[in-house]
């Protein structure tokens, strides 16, 4: 998934993604099938479609890698969709990942696992995650990024770009900010690329 960026006269802002998913992208789907929040059923994009992740062997390392790829600092809780109160995927949805064994990878699809698409799970075993919002200063190391939307919410793929340093969040100036900077910011936030950047209005 790409992110869409907006530059400001004084501050840089990144705005929501419009398609363009890449293999290995992740998302969290809530009970209304909305995505972009910090909790929900974990889904991975592969071979042109979104699929689920089985909870077999799913561990804190796997949860941490997934949440960080999604742009969060870590995870708060993980389990099956049933134990965390989220809906399971439809019967036509593929299960892409099973028996994950992550350690320090930056993308879930790069972790050791069964061959993609080889799984012995039902959708009752779909993994759900509650990721740790990066607004929590105790969980944010220097250099963390976040996007803040017009309502002050974080965790989505749109908003004002902010960076964490020395115990507080601050903005990024647009001076000399270019396409390479936008690409690096979006990738650090867990997106494959940016779509556009413009001034904050």
> Which two structure tokens, joined as six digits, stand for 165?
């340093």
Nearest CA-CA partner of 118 in 98, 139, 90:
98
Give the dihedral of Cα atoms 179, 183, 186, 187; nearest 10 deg.
-170
**From CA 98, how far away is CA 117, in angstroms rounded?**
8
- Reported as type and span, the H/E element at residue 68 is helix 60-69
Local structure of 139: helix, strand or coil: helix
Pairing type for strands 127-132 and 39-46 reads: antiparallel
**From CA 17, how far away is CA 36, in angstroms rounded?**
10
State the pLDDT at residue 189.
80
Q: Give pLDDT tens digits for 123-132.
A: 999 999 999 8
Considering the chain, tell me which residue range(s) the CATH 3.10.250.10 domain(s) occupy: 26-132
Q: Give pLDDT tens digits for 32-59.
A: 877 878 899 999 999 999 999 999 999 9
Does 26-132 carry CATH code 3.10.250.10?
A: yes
Q: Give pLDDT tens digits for 106-119.
A: 899 999 999 999 99
Please report which confidence band the pLDDT of residue 10 belongs to, taking 50, 70 and 90 as the band edges: very low
State the pLDDT at residue 1.
56
State the pLDDT at residue 140.
58
SS3 content of the chain, % helix, strand, coil (to 5): 15, 30, 50
Nearest CA-CA partner of 91 in 52, 41, 37:
52
Mean per-residue pLDDT, 137-166: 73
State the pLDDT at residue 127.
97
Q: How many CB atoms lie within 10 A of CB 131?
A: 27
Q: Pick the residue with more confidence: 191 or 108?
A: 108
């Amino acid at each position: 998934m790409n992110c869409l960026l907006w530059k400001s006269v004084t501050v840089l802002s990144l705005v929501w993604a419009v398609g363009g998913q890449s293999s290995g992208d992740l998302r969290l789907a809530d009970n209304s099938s909305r995505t972009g929040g910090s909790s929900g059923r974990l889904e991975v994009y592969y071979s042109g479609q979104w699929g689920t992740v089985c909870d077999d062997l799913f561990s804190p390392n796997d949860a941490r890698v997934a949440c960080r790829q999604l742009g969060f600092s870590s995870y708060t809780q993980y389990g099956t969709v049933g134990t965390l109160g989220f809906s399971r995927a439809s019967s036509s949805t593929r299960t892409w990942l099973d028996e994950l064994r992550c350690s320090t990878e930056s993308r879930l699809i790069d972790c050791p696992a069964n061959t993609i698409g080889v799984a012995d799970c039902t959708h009752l075993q779909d993994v759900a995650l509650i990721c740790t919002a990066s607004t929590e200063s105790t969980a944010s190391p220097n250099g963390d990024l976040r996007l803040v939307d017009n309502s002050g919410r974080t965790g989505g793929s749109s908003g004002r770009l902010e960076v964490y340093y020395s115990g507080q969040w601050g903005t990024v100036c647009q001076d000399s900010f270019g396409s390479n900077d936008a690409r690096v910011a979006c990738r650090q936030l867990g997106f494959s690329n940016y779509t556009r950047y413009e001034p904050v209005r």
